[in-house]
Amino acid sequence: MGKIIDGKAVSADVKARIAIETAELKKQGIEVGLAVVIVGNDPASKVYVRNKKLACEAVGFNSYEYALGEDTTEEQLLELVDKLNSDPKINGILVQLPLPKGLDDKVIINNIRPEKDVDAFHPVNVGKIMIGDYSFLPCTPAGVMELIASTGTEIEGKECVVIGRSNIVGKPMAMLLLHKSGTVTVCHSRTKNLKEVCSRADILVSAVGRAKMITADYIKEGAVVIDVGMNRDENGKLCGDVDFASCEPKASYITPVPGGVGPMTIAMLMQNTLTAAKQQNGLI
């Protein structure tokens, strides 16, 4: 029977640690500031932004929200990013994706100063992750690494399978496991014998976005199973990529959805913002 990895508890530990460090910085006259920019009226984006604001309050950061209309031009958005780049009160800048049609997220991300890019999406930060000399990590893969660490599982020498090759999760996830000396396979929509590849994994990370696609026959007995998926099942209920009910008995550890990876993403955003503040103040 798999032990459930409680993302809420692990993220609470991370945020508690950040709150202590933030309080210490305040004693030195240093305040931490995160700017979140949201363009348009996407309901899911609004929820994420609200959660980020609450997390900032919980750890003692100053939160700056910039809500722009659906009709915002690329020029106007770049102007705001430029202003935030130059503002010493702002240590981290996050532009909530997806952006409305007509706005190129690549152009916007490339204009955020790498040292304030707390999503770690800027090509400079992506390159640093590739060579293993990074300051920030993309929040979801970083959160997954914290969850694996919380189980006491050693990654070195283990067969690790990542399903999904997105720039936000799949690719950086593979690099982080590789940096810990895992033997990593990245699977995707063109992978042949997916079930066979997954069933060799000591550590399986699924970030494919298909409800309950991973069933028990994909899972090796005793595997650590991390479910990054956030989907709705046939009844409209929130679920992951992994069919939890069938996979949990075979796994040694498994994350639930909700309450697994989700809470970690925001916790790691807070960690990146704290790191940015310390760097910008010459503390690291």
Catalytic residues: 52, 96, 119
Long-range pairs, 134-137, Cβ under 8 A, ≥24: 135/275, 135/276, 135/279, 136/272, 136/275, 136/276, 137/172, 137/176, 137/268, 137/272
Distance CA 227, CA 242 (A): 6
Strand order in the sheet with 159-163: 3-4, 253-254, 224-227, 203-206, 159-163, 183-187
Distance CA 124, CA 185 (A): 25
For the CA atoms of 190, 196, 199, 205, what is the dihedral angle to 10 degrees?
0
| CB burial readout 225-252, b (16+ within 10 A) else e | bbbbbbbeeeeeeebbbbbbeebbebbb
| CB burial readout 43-70, b (16+ within 10 A) else e | eebeebbeebbebbebbbbebbebebee
Structure tokens at 166: 């997105």
Residue with tokens 């700056």: 64
